[in-house]
Structure 1
Amino acid sequence: MSADQGPDAALDGLRRHAHRLVAELAGPVRRVRLRSGETVLEVEWHGAAEAPPAPRTEPDPVVAAGPPPPEPGRLTVRAPVVGTFYRAPEPGAAPFVAVGDLIRPGQVVGIVEAMKLMNEVTADQAGRVVEVLVDDGRPVEYDQPLLALEPAGQRGR
């Protein structure tokens, strides 16, 4: 699809691409953002009931080899889709957040790439980053904890 088709044709193409992409993904989708030239299509579902992941017959090597779950009382930021987790907007750039940073709800804290689509990972609650649970460039599963947070207002535990 070329960017010189005009905004309506580009938007129609993005809609078709988004429909195919959502149909092909294994897990529930909360946000889709596609761009063609200057035309952008972004769709986000709020409050939709999320279906639990399908039961697996084999253990997942990514989860089995991952870090232990966060300590009780800690909050987590979780992967919105299956894909590859990136801590920075592009290679060589500073990470979105680091240990010790105070984050607010809606703040972008990472990216999960799924099928060449970059999905922003946003915090759904305020807190201070106490641990990064997944290394940059590593595969993640849907709903896998990515960051551990200390709830806002708690300090020095």
Structure 2
Amino acid sequence: MQDPESEIVVDEVVRGAERLLRASDRPLRRIVVRSGAVCVELEWPSAAEAAIVAAEPAPVEGATSLLYVRAPMVGTFYHAPEPGADPFVRLGDLIELGSQIGVLEAMKIMNPVEAGVAGRVTEVLVPDGTPVEYEQPLIVIEPAGV
């Protein structure tokens, strides 16, 4: 069991991490929070890495015309803006470049996830409310004009 003083330290560190996350202009790549002997690690991709991930969907292996939209950070992926609301996209939807396809919650901050290509949603890979890793595939898009 953790002593109350350690809990206070962890709470303070987490609040500080939240302030850093809010002040950052890039999405968080990785976060680690430990309680015993207190350890908090935050990692952001470089500006160049963040721009590439946001702008270029990754090709789906074994398929020449399909692309993944990947998680821009670690967090919990949600299909809709709030519980009970319609999802941002559904299987078969036509979407435009920059269309919001979901949200990623990281440290209680909701971050929009946008498509880096226009096209048709051919597969939704991650169930609603699922924890995801940095660059994990979320949906598959067949680009427009293919």
Question: Which interval holds the TM-score relative to the shorter structure?
Answer: 0.5 to 0.7
The 3-state SS of whatever aligns with 1:50 is helix
Please name the residue that 2:49 is paired with: 50
The residue correspondences of 1:1-157 to structure 2 (distance < 5 A) are 20-21=20-21, 22=24, 25-28=42-45, 48-50=47-49, 71-73=62-64, 74-154=66-146
Q: Give the drift of 1:142.
A: 0.6
Counterpart of 1:130 in structure 2: which amino acid?
T
Identity, % of aligned pairs?
60
Which shifted more, 17-26 or 100-109?
A: 17-26
Q: Secondary structure at the match of 1:124?
A: coil
Rounded to whole Å, the distance in 2 between the matches of 1:71 and 1:137 is 28
Asked if the contact 1:70–1:148 (Cα under 8 Å) also holds between the matched residues in 2, the reply is no
| Structure-2-length-normalised TM-score | 0.63
- Unpaired runs of at least 5, structure 1: 1-15, 30-47, 52-68
Number of residue pairs matched by the alignment: 104
- Give how far 1:93 is off: 0.3
CA shift, 1:28, in A, is 2.2
Residues 83-120 of structure 1 deviation map (CA, whole Å, 9 limit, x = unaligned): 00000000000000000001111111100000001010
Change (3 A) 1:80 1:131: same
- The RMSD of aligned alpha carbons is 2.4
Superposition TM-score, scaled by structure 1 size = 0.59
